[in-house]
Amino acid sequence: MGMRVTFLGTSSAKPSPLRNVSGLFLSPFERKERWLFDCGDGTQLRILSAGLPLEHIRAIFISHMHGDHIFGLPGLLASMSLSNMPTEVELYGPAPLADFLESVRSYSAARRPSPFRFRALAEGAVAAIDGVAVECRLLDHRDPTYGFRITEPDAPGKLDVSALERDGVPEGSVRGRLKRGEDVTLEDGRVLRGRDYLGPARQGRVLAIVPDTSPCEASRALAKDADLLVHEATLDDAQSGTALERKHSTPSMAAETARGAGARRLALTHISPRYHDKPEDLAAMLAAAQAVFPETSLAEDLQSIDVPARTD
């Protein structure tokens, strides 16, 4: 099972020629389905630029009702309604999102995406889609804002080929079923139990997405032992007082969250437009975070990060 994160927008507040506003694609499967997290203005153009057809979107998660996270959603849904969606689209967001979308639809006469289902977010578990669990928690922002923790199911352990050969287990479908942990009855009457030929299960990967927030216990809980933490870093460390006043984070704050939570990697996003055309400022922001948590990168629009399978 693959896990790839693609950044569609890494700016806060408003877009610039270099960075669009918030949007993130998750590919949690080997198949074509994609999940979208937040949908700022222009997100669907970023999706098309990345070569990702709209009809591949299966689930959309909206963190909060600020414009740089939702203004692209009505247009995206209108386009999706014209794309002959093959499966039902799940939309998760704060309860007011439903009224917002209905107002836009009624005044614009936009077609309603079909099939389509809205689910209001609440603290705790959100969903389990194809075995991948999604949990949300309320963060510390000016308006109710949710962060997300996405957890893959554990994968079967490594198949013991030497034991299979020792027991004369034929190659092909029998070994495939044992690899999945199933029990198999052979033609000679022997019953083989999958667990007898598998090593320890491999823990599923964890992705944490922490949008607009100041440091809080909820962000640390979402990030605990995450393979990748995507965390906002709106203002540089020199603006830490302003960041906290506005309920945002700096690179060092995000890095402290990653380090304290035992995350493996950190990607900074939601960067203020004041820095977009100042490479020296962006480099300083990255350096400040890396001084606290070395495994940090600064996300760029249309950049993808592959999260490798766990080996421990």
How far apart CA 19 and CA 300 sit, in angstroms, is 7
Q: Tell me which residue has tokens 């027991």.
A: 167
pLDDT of residue 260: 98
* Cβ neighbours of 133 (radius 10 Å): 16
Task: Give one DSSP letter per residue of 127-151, joined into a string.
Answer: EEETTEEEEEEE-BSSS--EEEEEE
pLDDT of residue 156: 78
pLDDT of residue 220: 98
pLDDT of residue 120: 94
Phi, psi of 127, deg, nearest 5? -160, 165
Task: Give one DSSP letter per residue of 254-287, joined into a string.
Answer: HHHHHHHHT-S-EEEE-B-GGGTT-HHHHHHHHH
**pLDDT > 90 in the chain, percent:** 62
pLDDT of residue 7: 97
Q: Which of 68, 212, 236, 301 is catalytic?
A: 68
pLDDT at residue 30 greater than cutoff 70: no
pLDDT of residue 56: 84
pLDDT at residue 134 greater than cutoff 60: yes
Tens digits of residue pLDDT in 87-112: 788 999 999 999 999 899 889 877 66
Q: Which of 30-39, 77-86, 264-273 has the lowest mean pLDDT?
A: 77-86
How far apart CA 174 and CA 189 sit, in angstroms, is 14
The reply to whether 143 belongs to the active site is no
How far apart CA 90 and CA 271 sit, in angstroms, is 28
Average pLDDT (146-166) is: 89
* Cβ neighbours of 79 (radius 10 Å): 17
Six-digit token string for 176? 């495939």
Identify the residue with better confidence: 246 or 125.
246
Identify the residue with better confidence: 140 or 126.
140
Question: Residue 46 in contact with residue 19, Cβ under 8 Å?
Answer: no
* Cβ neighbours of 190 (radius 10 Å): 11
Q: Tell me which residue has tokens 């949008």.
A: 211
pLDDT at residue 113 greater than cutoff 60: no
pLDDT of residue 301: 97
pLDDT of residue 251: 98
- The strand ranges marked E within 32-179 are 34-39, 57-61, 89-93, 116-120, 124-129, 132-138, 146-151
Identify the residue with better confidence: 80 or 280.
280
Tens digits of residue pLDDT in 216-252: 999 999 999 999 999 999 999 999 999 999 999 999 9
What average pLDDT is seen over the chain? 91
Q: How confident is the model at residue 278 (pLDDT cuts 50, 70, 90)?
A: very high
Taken in order of first residue, the domains within the chain and their CATH numbers are: 4-155+202-300 (3.60.15.10), 161-197 (no CATH)
Identify the residue with better confidence: 10 or 30.
10
pLDDT of residue 261: 98
Chain mean position to CA 59: 11
Tens digits of residue pLDDT in 159-203: 888 888 898 888 888 888 888 888 999 888 899 998 888 888 888
Task: Give one DSSP letter per residue of 35-48, joined into a string.
Answer: EEEEE-TTHHHHHH
How far apart CA 57 and CA 36 sit, in angstroms, is 7
